[in-house]
Amino acid sequence: MTNQLTIAVPKGYLLKETIKRFEAIGIHFPSDFEESRRLFTYDTSETYKLLTVRPWDVPAYVEQGAADLGIVGKDVLLEQEPDVYTLKDLKFGGCKLVIAGLKTQSIQTLKHHCKVVTKYPQSTTKYFEKIGKKVKIIKLYGAIELGPLTGLSDIICDLTATGKTLKEHQLIELDTVFESTAQLIANPIGMKVHYKQISDINSKI
Amino acid sequence: MTTYTTPQGISDYLPNDTKILNANIIKLQSLFSENGFNQIKTPTIEFAENLEKGLGPIQKKHSIEFFDPAGNRLLLRPDNTTPIARTVATRMNAESTPLKLCYTEPIFRKSNQNHSDTEIFQAGCEIFGYTNLTSIVDIISTCIKGLETLNVTDIGIDIGHINFMKGLSEEKKEALLKGDYITYGKIPERSETIDPDSENLTNLVANLKKSHSTIPIMINQGLVKGLHYYSGIIFEAYSKHNRNIIASGGQYDSLCAQFGHSLSAVGFAINLNEIGFQND
């Protein structure tokens, strides 16, 4: 129990890739875990406990110390700015946060006070502050692409991996806010308590 | 139903909590006194321009500021060390040194989105006008004894130094302060023996080990965090059972000079909110 290390990972692609990466460094989680409905599991040595949580909840688990380590997209870290250590860029799960709009639009011609829908209000605010435009941000929890089509907003700020969903909704990328990949993060106290174990994982993974 | 709530980060302490908090304070006061520290009390409200001499940008952002009727900016003290340094430099500068003082007072810091406490009960010690490592050992040792007095178990101490940032680019400095080890380039080293600036850190660890042999005491190259005024050694105390820093401190040799009287100083503060109210 004392040396057990807890790792929070979002379900889906990051979980799949994480299990693979751990497998490669000799930490084996059950192969049927991804398909099961269980929210946590242990590796064969019972030294590592893996939690599957919502992507947006990984920082909370790690910041509060319910998990010692977490794997989470840089997009979530930039949006939430949690008080955690970021140890490594794992270079998988690549995607980018973009400003997208209809073909007729461009960043230069955007009017002041235009409306943006997004799941990323912080990052959107920072982006528009940087380019010196005052916009109205509407936070949504999904189906962001509907914004311009329904008249809810003029443009959107959303995450895209392939650009396919944008295209299907007649949207084009106007600018990139930032690029994102999966990052390994740690709780600052967990990092002290499990320093050797964590440095070891960090150097191998 | 109407409830009459308190502001975010501010809590009522009902009799059970209050009993534990006060008992903890009394235990620490008697320990500090046994170790030669005299109690001091500074005001809750001070002129912002005075306290700001000891505050870095982060502390300034988290301070609670308001105005007096004449339009002077005032602060609820966000820290105990700066007001004590002000008092020592301006009112006690003729006292013989080393001058050992202690306090048990709350500080006030704006609550963040994660519902951290605004009112934080602190207990701490300061030594002004020290001349050698013995006083630093005294401070860290009193801090450990204080935590032990409060029945905190599995304590660990990490020791850092402000010089660990020396020679780093601005980008890497900021990365180290933020815990962004991707930009910093690696996980900072942490062991009993690293002593990159030959600042007597290994000596300090060996001295502390003499009286605290069971406690892990590590030199941590990533420990540069801390208040604006730290000038040398910095340390943090943690417990396996708590996911926040429970005590911290360090050397702040140039703070008193900000108030017109140059005097070396070293101290620590225990965060009594982190110790909790459920023990005992």
Amino acid at B72: N
Q: Which of A187, A199, A202 sits opposite B243 (nearest CB)?
A: A187
A68-83: average pLDDT = 96
Query: What domain count does chain B have?
Result: 1
What is the CA A38 to chain-centroid distance, rounded?
A: 22
Third-level CATH fold of A5-93+181-204: D-Maltodextrin-Binding Protein; domain 2 (3.40.190)
Q: Is any Cβ of chain A less than 8 angstroms from the Cβ of B94?
A: no
- Between the alpha carbon of residue B136 and those of residues A13, A146, B130, the distances in Å are 50, 62, 8
Q: Is the pLDDT of residue B237 over 50?
A: yes
**B4 lies in some domain:** no
**B208 lies in some domain:** yes
CATH number at residue B102: 3.30.930.10
Radius of gyration of the CA atoms of chain B, in A = 19
Q: Is any Cβ of chain A less than 8 angstroms from the Cβ of B243?
A: yes
Closest-CA distance, A204 to chain B, in angstroms, reads 13
Nearest chain A alpha carbon to B115: A64
- Domain ranges, residue B112: 15-275
Highest CATH level, class, for A95-178: alpha beta
Which residues does chain B have within 8 Å of residue A87's beta carbon, measured at their own beta carbons? 181-182, 187
Q: Do A202 and B187 touch (CB under 8 A)?
A: yes
**B123 lies in some domain:** yes
**B127 lies in some domain:** yes
The whole-number pLDDT of residue A127 equals 97
SS3 at position B247: strand
* B118: nearest Cα among B57, B75, B81, B64: B64
Give me the interface pTM, i.e. the ipTM: 0.89
Q: Do A63 and B238 touch (CB under 8 A)?
A: no
The whole-number pLDDT of residue A1 equals 42
What digits encode the pLDDT tens for the residues B88-125? Answer: 999 999 999 999 999 999 999 998 766 689 999 999 99
* B254: nearest Cα among B227, B280, B235: B227
Q: Which of B181, B220, B243 sits opposite A86 (nearest CB)?
A: B181
**B154 lies in some domain:** yes
A166-191: average pLDDT = 96
Q: Is any Cβ of chain B less than 8 angstroms from the Cβ of A85?
A: yes
Distance CA A194, CA A196 (A): 6
In this chain, the answer to whether the domains covering A5-93+181-204 and A95-178 adopt an identical fold is: yes
Q: Is any Cβ of chain A less than 8 angstroms from the Cβ of B180?
A: yes
Residue spans per domain, chain A: 5-93+181-204, 95-178
Residues 6+ apart with CB under 8 A from B30: none
DSSP class of B39: E
**B191 lies in some domain:** yes
pLDDT category at B276 given cuts 50, 70, 90 is confident
